[in-house]
Amino acid sequence: MHQRAALAAYALLAMVPGSTAAEQTQAVAPSRPALRVVGDGIPDPIGGAKGDPERGRALILAHDSANCILCHALSDPSVRFSGNLGPPLDGIARKLSVAQLRLRVADNLRLDPATIMPSYYRTEGLDRVASAFRGKPILNAGQIEDVVAYLATLK
Ligand code: HEC
């Protein structure tokens, strides 16, 4: 329990939700493509470009960027330790469509305002963000697409 709380605190350090997930359009900085949410997914690639699964795999595994395996198990030869706060990512593309995967990575807070999973493409409604990071998402549009492209291979 202590470890779980510590991990959640770590994840939330820069991203405590301050608004509800109810609104369907997100005002983003002018330079950033906006999210178009339909149902519980984002049907179109953010920014329009197709992602690269190999780059996505590297991001998912990297401890200094997305760090998905902090919370998610993944059967991959290079993973030695992973957390279990979230469900395993193995076979995730059998359960969720590409559009559903994209929303979960980009802005999971819209689906669950209480989630501990970072909303990797959100910048608004977050408190306690260091000024250097204000207005910048954790992953940019291209990186979100890379991560989604890799998740889509996990059948
Ligand atoms: C701090 C912990 C944490 C991190 C880091 C994290 N997640 Fe999650 N994730 C969760 C939890 C917990 C859930 C369960 C649903 C919820 O709480 O919203 C979840 C749910 C998901 C789901 C939906 C799973 C399902 O079965 O419906 C996907 C897909 C996902 N995460 C992918 C990722 C990816 C990809 C990354 C990295 C870019 C990532 N997560 C980083 C905690 C995390």
Tell me which residue has its CA closest to atom 25 in ligand 1. Answer: 87
Q: Is the shortest distance between the CB of 74 and ligand 1 below 6 Å?
A: no
Q: Residue 24: left (phi > 0), alpha (psi -120 to 50), or beta?
A: alpha
CA 43 to ligand 1 centroid distance, Å: 19
Question: Candidates 81, 117, 121, 122: which one to mutate for ligand 1, based on the most atoms within 8 Å of Cβ?
Answer: 117
Q: Is the pLDDT of residue 78 over 50?
A: yes
Short-list 56, 68, 84, CA closest to 151: 56
Give pTM, 2 decimals: 0.83
- The finding on whether 118 has its CB within 6 A of some atom of ligand 1 is yes
Query: Could you give all domains of the chain from N- to C-terminal order, each with its CATH number?
Result: 2-19+36-151 (1.10.760.10)
- Ligand 1 centroid to residue 70 C-alpha, Å: 10
Residue 43, pLDDT score: 97
pLDDT in tens, 83-100: 999 999 999 999 999 999
Q: What is the pLDDT of residue 7?
A: 54
**71 pLDDT higher than 90:** yes
Strand ranges (E), the chain: 16-17, 126-127
pLDDT(103) > 60: yes
pLDDT of residue 12: 46
φ/ψ (deg, to 5) at 114? -105, 5
Residue 112 CA: which ligand 1 atom is closest?
18
pLDDT-derived band at 136 (thresholds 50, 70, 90) equals: confident
Cα–Cα distance for residue pair 5/145, rounded to 1 Å: 30
Is there a contact between 109 and 115 (Cβ–Cβ < 8 Å)? yes
Q: pLDDT digit string (tens) for 30-63?
A: 568 889 999 999 999 999 999 999 999 999 999 8
